[in-house]
Chain A
Amino acid sequence: MARNGTPHPQPLQIHRLPQSKYIDALRWLPPISPFDRHVVLAAFNSDSDASAVEIHSINSKNPSETLTHHFSWTSPHRISSLKVSQTPQKPVIAASSFSGSLHVLFADSLDAMIDSEVSLPENALHAGPISGIDLNENGSECVTVGMDGRVNVVNVGGSGVSYRKVFDSNGLASYTATKWASPAEFATGGPGFGVQWWDQRKCGGPAAQFKGNWAQKTSGIVHSIDIHPSRKHTCLAGGSSGSVFAWDLRWQQQPIILSGVGMGETPAQSLSESEVWEVQYDTFTRAANLASISSARVLPAMICSEDGILAVVEQGEEAIELLAEPCAINSFDIDKQNPSDVICCLEWESIAVLSRA
């Protein structure tokens, strides 16, 4: 396997915690206090075929002392996507399932328990699995996308739950990832390295779309999208063949390729050759001089991949490899309040907790 990234130069503490169940996704819960931190896991127990959303408290002083199980909500179906709103006073956890149901859990910030829950059953939103969801900043709206080609916005604020169909391609297009950009706008991604920009004020289809025909040899699927609150015009996308690229709405024709194989004329560095499962802007690296980075430059991003790489990529710089595991890294999350800390879940039923100094 080609490993072009350099090992992490800074002190890095890694704790691997075996779980004896498969973790499909994981997120930090906004902390109540600096000493009381929790993570949310989408766990799947293959022995009992049971799925659950679990809240574990994590010992920040000594993460090797495993996670302490705190609360668990049994999910009727296996979870396909998990998102948490960054609202410390009342965190909202949204989980979509492979059966097509959506579950929104309201956590109590004081005891990190789940107070109440609203659900939409299978086949209400999508025919088949929901492949991607995203919660908006205050956790009141959740966008859902699926391979069936539907795009829905679910309103979970106030009383009950309601949804409206933004678009239905009737299967002509498929969507695999989504991310809010503003209260009215969001982006989606799908096969063919396609990225679509949606504006809820304009109906009848995407407001802008990008087709990944720059990949000459091979095409692929976008698995994850991130949009930085300070750069709402740029979609960061990660997908097949190790590709990570940024699509700037202001220069729609040409993407900025951060990593990937066989793309464009100048081959970009390739961290990984397989699926990039998740991308997130890395708020830790150079958080201080964020303002000094030119708005044309893509902010540093963290990725995790099928071939076991967790790394930070930056435009025009050599990537920094944080982890190189013998198995896939399915999902990761950077603690928004404490961006030096990262958790990720590994294919071989374990979790790794990283803290960067």
Chain B
Amino acid sequence: MPALPSHAGDTSLVLLPLEAPDSAAVIPFHHGVKPPISPRLSISWSRGNSLRVSVFKHSPQSDAVTSNSSNETDGGRVVELKLGSAGDGGGGEIDDAAQWRRIAYGSVAPFALLQSRKNSMSALSRMSSSSSYDAQWWAYVLEYSREINSLLGYQRSPPSPAIEDPRTVLKKVEEPTCLKAAWELMEVFYADKQSQAWLPERLVDWLADFDSLFSGTQPTIHSKLLDFQEELVTLQVFIGSIYWFEELFQGPLGQNQRSLGVHTFWDSSLGPSDVGSTSGGEERVDSVDSNLQLVVSVAVMPLDSVPASWKETVVGNQLIILVKRRANGFGKVLGVSMAAFEKSIVDLLLDIKRSSTHSSFSRKGGYKKAVEDDPRYWEAISLALAVGWLDIAVKLLRLHGSYQLNQLGNRETENGLVEAAAVLISKMPRMRSKSAAGNLGECFKSRPDFIKALEKWRAQITKLDCSTFWLQCGHHQTMEGLKSILQIMLGNASTLSASTCHWLELYIAHFIYIRPFTVGLESMYTLAQKCLQVKPVSHPHKLMKLLTGILGGNTEVVLAECSKMIAHAVELLTAGSSQADIVLHEERDNLGGISIEELHRLVYAQFLSSHALTWQIAPIYLTSCIKQGMGMLEILLYKQPVHHNQVLLKNLEICRLYELDRVSSNIMKMAGVHHWKHGKKGSGVFWLQQARDEFRLNRIAQHLFDFQWEGLIELLGSDSRTAGGFEFLHKYRDFKRSLQQVHDGTATDAAQRAAEALILLMKNPSTPHRFWLPLLYDSLKLFNWQECPLLNVPQTNLLLNKLQELSMAKLRPDFIEADLPLQALSSVRLALATNLGRAILDQ
């Protein structure tokens, strides 16, 4: 990606993607560097999606950029540019960076626990191989899988309504995500060994949860049912409208009058408590537009919750209906265009006139448009049944018009058939341990029981199919619809194919009705291929690719579809498939000698490292990588900025946890040097002391001697551990103090202490040569002490030797002449000689 510094404003950078030169993105940024600006521009990747651009000031004198604490901006400025957003959107994809981080945080503990369990298990299994370990291990893997799984969905499930709306067919529990769907699929096949016996049923449940994810690319049963649910609401809305028209029909409209009276509306499904009373429960609308013969309608709704403006919106050629839905408590405003409304009304009026068998109207009951007349109703039942959503199928069947109390008499046989079908559906035998909450069907754990029940059930269906009651069924659509339902239950392949939208749904339908005993990946794979032939897809959804990858035993394909959870998914794969275990653990030369498992962990760790809030969890993954992990961990730790105290301490904490003492010491040295260079001398020395960096401390001590060392020593405290040059400084301070006391008075005690301090100093190898003469010169008074010689013979000899050494050192080129009077050396020598004489006499 070539970057050109723009000449116009000097403040923007133009990024030109090579493959698409037309779509250049201009990202303006402010760098604050005063011109002239160097034509040199340094660009590098920073964390995540950020570019780090370094802008230098053009200085002809020197190219070197001096970093100085006071004028940091003089040499140039480093700017971080964020490029776009990380998320790619799309149906069911997690594009929220915060959500990703939440998953990353939450998966740390399960991953770490599984690794430690894996290590202890492998240690145990080496001693004895027992199948009880296997069972224990599977329990651990499943626990891990469930914990990761719980992180992948969105947690915001709406509060479930206290009273269920009869029109709500599909329950919305939680927003499904592709990631969760993929993980559950992996869990079914690799982690959950217990459910292997009823694998087909697990897939039925899986599709029930995630069919909506496929809706983005193709029609699905879920999307069709959702459409029909909307339809149901509309159908119910017309009930009230018709009641009103009935009045018109018999009254003013028949006389071709345009003025309309007051009309009340109710929805029969709301029940008697909401209707009938006129106190506040009804909205009366008197306004009528005489030109448009239209109107208005009305709501069963508390007056105070009707929007103030809604009366106005009613007028016009729109029919506005406000419906209060008891289940969730809010009203819905439906707008129906006049043209559409008129057409439906005309149809319905004709219907009313023609027959009163299937529709009745009364002042209280209203008119119910028979749902069973709608072919989509029967389609919806078939669709739901085909993929085993039994509760939805039964619920829909019970909306059948023949259940209406006032119709039971006329449609007894018809109702009997509908109910028989509903009962058969709810009694369907299923081979699974237990049914999910609210699901219908009878569960059987053992295969013989299941086969027996299935045969019995099928016999009952066949019996119903051949019954003579069908002849007495007066409603054609009902008969057709029910017959088709029975065909589905009997496993008629063509009916199943017609009642499913894509191959995965057909696949599930096959498991339920045709081949409930399919076991083994191979036969499952063959069946999938068959279904794919019946309902081919041009662009298969990634979940479909994942499923075929799992069924086909294609480890690479499976991993490719796991996206960011790949490092965690590898755990399931290696646990669940011995073939995948070999593939993933094999060390590969083309990957630099590491295995695929390690590669994915490293990649995941890199992803975590790229963000300021997640880098600190990357070490968990890096330390689980045998070959490259520790090396990358060191790089990661060294890369963290040392000037930010919190980051520095976090860094050192990670070193402590993983016992990286060498890295820790290096980081402390880096921090020390950084603080020292930026004027924070105290912090600099603190970190160098923590790192036990004697070399640098010595250098600093020598440097400090000429400056503010006294203050520094005061502030640092008399730390006994301080090494090297600082030790000298401490001793020098003690010596100076006692010498000060000597100058103030004539106490021999103080002088004696000063002399001892001097000897300690001169004996110490860390005392720099250049301080020897000044020290001795300062001590002249001690050597010439009147009362008694303060130094004994060996001590005086030691000092004389030092003096001798000093004269030799003078010849070396790096010798620094102390800033002392010329006669200093000779007067010290003389004083020492005098002292020596007195000391010998004293002995």
- List residues of A whose CB falls within 8 A of some B CB: 18, 20-22, 46-47, 49, 98, 127-129, 131, 147-149, 169-174, 176, 190-192, 194, 211-213, 216, 218-219, 221, 240, 273-275, 306-307, 326-328, 347-349
Extra inter-chain contacts (20) besides given A49-B82, A275-B653, A348-B105, CB under 8 Å: A20-B96, A127-B69, A147-B680, A148-B679, A148-B680, A149-B680, A149-B682, A169-B711, A170-B679, A170-B708, A172-B708, A173-B715, A174-B680, A174-B682, A174-B686, A190-B682, A216-B721, A221-B649, A326-B108, A349-B98
Would you call A219 and B719 a contact (CB within 8 A)? yes
The distance in angstroms between the C-alpha atoms of A173 and B716, with both chains bound, is 7
Would you call A211 and B682 a contact (CB within 8 A)? no
Would you call B712 and A172 a contact (CB within 8 A)? yes
Would you call B679 and A171 a contact (CB within 8 A)? yes
Which residues on A sit within 8 Å (CB–CB) of B68?
Answer: none
The distance in angstroms between the C-alpha atoms of A21 and B653, with both chains bound, is 23
Minimum CB–CB distance for B746 against chain A, Å: 31
- Judge whether B718 is part of the interface by a CB distance below 8 angstroms: yes
**The one of A171, A190, A348 that contacts B681, using a Cβ cutoff of 8 Å:** A171
Minimum CB–CB distance for A44 against chain B, Å: 9
Would you call A172 and B98 a contact (CB within 8 A)? no
Which residues on A sit within 8 Å (CB–CB) of B530?
Answer: none
Would you call B102 and A172 a contact (CB within 8 A)? no
Which residues on A sit within 8 Å (CB–CB) of B711?
Answer: 169, 172
The distance in angstroms between the C-alpha atoms of A128 and B69, with both chains bound, is 10
The distance in angstroms between the C-alpha atoms of A324 and B574, with both chains bound, is 32
Minimum CB–CB distance for A37 against chain B, Å: 24
Would you call A211 and B718 a contact (CB within 8 A)? yes
Would you call B715 and A349 a contact (CB within 8 A)? no
Known: A213-B718, A219-B686. A131 touches B680 (CB 8 A): no
Among residues of A, the one whose C-beta sits closest to the C-beta of B50 is A49
- Judge whether B690 is part of the interface by a CB distance below 8 angstroms: yes
Would you call B682 and A327 a contact (CB within 8 A)? no
A-B contact pairs, 6 of them (CB 8 A): A46-B97, A149-B682, A171-B679, A172-B708, A219-B719, A348-B101
Would you call A211 and B679 a contact (CB within 8 A)? no
Tell me whether chain B's interface is mostly helix, strand or loop, or mixed. Answer: helix
Residue of B101, B679, B680, B689 with highest tally of chain A CB at under 10 A = B680
0/1 interface trace, chain B 697-740, chain A, CB 8 Å (1 if under)? 00000000000100110011111110000000000000000000
Would you call B682 and A191 a contact (CB within 8 A)? yes
0/1 interface trace, chain B 213-255, chain A, CB 8 Å (1 if under)? 0000000000000000000000000000000000000000000
Which residues on B sit within 8 Å (CB–CB) of A275?
Answer: 649, 653
The distance in angstroms between the C-alpha atoms of A47 and B108, with both chains bound, is 22
**The one of B97, B613, B653, B719 that contacts A192, using a Cβ cutoff of 8 Å:** B719
Would you call B689 and A219 a contact (CB within 8 A)? yes
Question: Which residues of chain B (572-626) have a CB below 8 Å from chain A?
Answer: 611-613, 616
Would you call B98 and A169 a contact (CB within 8 A)? no
**The one of A22, A131, A192 that contacts B686, using a Cβ cutoff of 8 Å:** A192
Q: Which 4 A-B pairs rank lowest in CB-CB distance, beginning with the nearest?
A: A211-B717, A20-B98, A348-B105, A191-B686
The distance in angstroms between the C-alpha atoms of A170 and B680, with both chains bound, is 8
Minimum CB–CB distance for A251 against chain B, Å: 18
0/1 interface trace, chain B 359-376, chain A, CB 8 Å (1 if under)? 000000000000000000
Minimum CB–CB distance for B228 against chain A, Å: 35
- Judge whether B645 is part of the interface by a CB distance below 8 angstroms: yes
- Judge whether B426 is part of the interface by a CB distance below 8 angstroms: no
Which residues on B sit within 8 Å (CB–CB) of A348?
Answer: 101-102, 105
Which residues on B sit within 8 Å (CB–CB) of A46?
Answer: 97, 611-613
The distance in angstroms between the C-alpha atoms of A173 and B719, with both chains bound, is 14
0/1 interface trace, chain B 671-685, chain A, CB 8 Å (1 if under)? 000010011111100
Known: A148-B679, A349-B102. A219 touches B690 (CB 8 A): yes
- Judge whether B26 is part of the interface by a CB distance below 8 angstroms: no
Would you call A171 and B653 a contact (CB within 8 A)? no
Which residues on A sit within 8 Å (CB–CB) of B650?
Answer: 306, 328
Which residues on B sit within 8 Å (CB–CB) of A127?
Answer: 69, 679
Would you call A349 and B613 a contact (CB within 8 A)? yes
Known: A306-B649, A348-B105. A172 touches B720 (CB 8 A): no
The distance in angstroms between the C-alpha atoms of A172 and B689, with both chains bound, is 14
Question: Which residues of chain B (610-657) have a CB below 8 Å from chain A?
Answer: 611-613, 616, 644-645, 649-650, 653, 656
Which residues on A sit within 8 Å (CB–CB) of B612?
Answer: 46
Minimum CB–CB distance for B604 against chain A, Å: 17
Minimum CB–CB distance for A119 against chain B, Å: 21
Minimum CB–CB distance for B387 against chain A, Å: 34
The distance in angstroms between the C-alpha atoms of A326 and B657, with both chains bound, is 13
Would you call A147 and B645 a contact (CB within 8 A)? yes
**The one of B109, B644, B653 that contacts A306, using a Cβ cutoff of 8 Å:** B653
The distance in angstroms between the C-alpha atoms of A274 and B616, with both chains bound, is 15
Minimum CB–CB distance for A111 against chain B, Å: 27
Known: A47-B97, A172-B712. A22 touches B653 (CB 8 A): no
Minimum CB–CB distance for B379 against chain A, Å: 42
Residue of B97, B98, B612, B712 with highest tally of chain A CB at under 10 A = B98
Among residues of A, the one whose C-beta sits closest to the C-beta of B690 is A219
Known: A127-B69, A218-B690, A275-B653. A327 touches B105 (CB 8 A): yes
The distance in angstroms between the C-alpha atoms of A347 and B616, with both chains bound, is 10
Which residues on A sit within 8 Å (CB–CB) of B656?
Answer: 273-274
**The one of A176, A216, A349 that contacts B645, using a Cβ cutoff of 8 Å:** A176
The distance in angstroms between the C-alpha atoms of A128 and B721, with both chains bound, is 30
Minimum CB–CB distance for B711 against chain A, Å: 5
Question: Which residues of chain B (56-82) have a CB below 8 Å from chain A?
Answer: 69, 82
**The one of B683, B708, B718, B719 that contacts A174, using a Cβ cutoff of 8 Å:** B683
Would you call A172 and B715 a contact (CB within 8 A)? yes
Known: A172-B715, A194-B717, A274-B653. A147 touches B683 (CB 8 A): yes
Residue of B99, B644, B656 with highest tally of chain A CB at under 10 A = B656
The distance in angstroms between the C-alpha atoms of A328 and B651, with both chains bound, is 13
The distance in angstroms between the C-alpha atoms of A176 and B712, with both chains bound, is 18
The distance in angstroms between the C-alpha atoms of A176 and B645, with both chains bound, is 10
Which residues on A sit within 8 Å (CB–CB) of B98?
Answer: 20-21, 47, 349
Which residues on A sit within 8 Å (CB–CB) of B96?
Answer: 20
0/1 interface trace, chain B 79-99, chain A, CB 8 Å (1 if under)? 000100000000000001111
**The one of B82, B105, B682 that contacts A172, using a Cβ cutoff of 8 Å:** B682
The distance in angstroms between the C-alpha atoms of A78 and B49, with both chains bound, is 21
The distance in angstroms between the C-alpha atoms of A128 and B643, with both chains bound, is 10
Which residues on B sit within 8 Å (CB–CB) of A213?
Answer: 717-720
The distance in angstroms between the C-alpha atoms of A281 and B259, with both chains bound, is 79
Which residues on B sit within 8 Å (CB–CB) of A20?
Answer: 96, 98-99, 101-102
The distance in angstroms between the C-alpha atoms of A46 and B653, with both chains bound, is 23
The distance in angstroms between the C-alpha atoms of A174 and B613, with both chains bound, is 27
The distance in angstroms between the C-alpha atoms of A173 and B680, with both chains bound, is 8
Minimum CB–CB distance for B179 against chain A, Å: 17
Would you call B719 and A169 a contact (CB within 8 A)? no
Would you call A326 and B611 a contact (CB within 8 A)? no
Which residues on B sit within 8 Å (CB–CB) of A240?
Answer: 649
Minimum CB–CB distance for A174 against chain B, Å: 4
The distance in angstroms between the C-alpha atoms of A49 and B712, with both chains bound, is 38
The distance in angstroms between the C-alpha atoms of A149 and B682, with both chains bound, is 8
Which residues on B sit within 8 Å (CB–CB) of A128?
Answer: 678, 680
Which residues on A sit within 8 Å (CB–CB) of B679?
Answer: 127, 148, 170-171
Which residues on B sit within 8 Å (CB–CB) of A326?
Answer: 108-109
Which residues on B sit within 8 Å (CB–CB) of A49?
Answer: 82
Among residues of B, the one whose C-beta sits closest to the C-beta of A218 is B690
Among residues of B, the one whose C-beta sits closest to the C-beta of A328 is B650
Minimum CB–CB distance for B657 against chain A, Å: 8
Among residues of A, the one whose C-beta sits closest to the C-beta of B643 is A128
The distance in angstroms between the C-alpha atoms of A212 and B711, with both chains bound, is 18
Among residues of A, the one whose C-beta sits closest to the C-beta of B108 is A326
Minimum CB–CB distance for A225 against chain B, Å: 16
The distance in angstroms between the C-alpha atoms of A211 and B682, with both chains bound, is 13
Minimum CB–CB distance for A59 against chain B, Å: 16
Which residues on A sit within 8 Å (CB–CB) of B97?
Answer: 46-47
Among residues of A, the one whose C-beta sits closest to the C-beta of B613 is A46
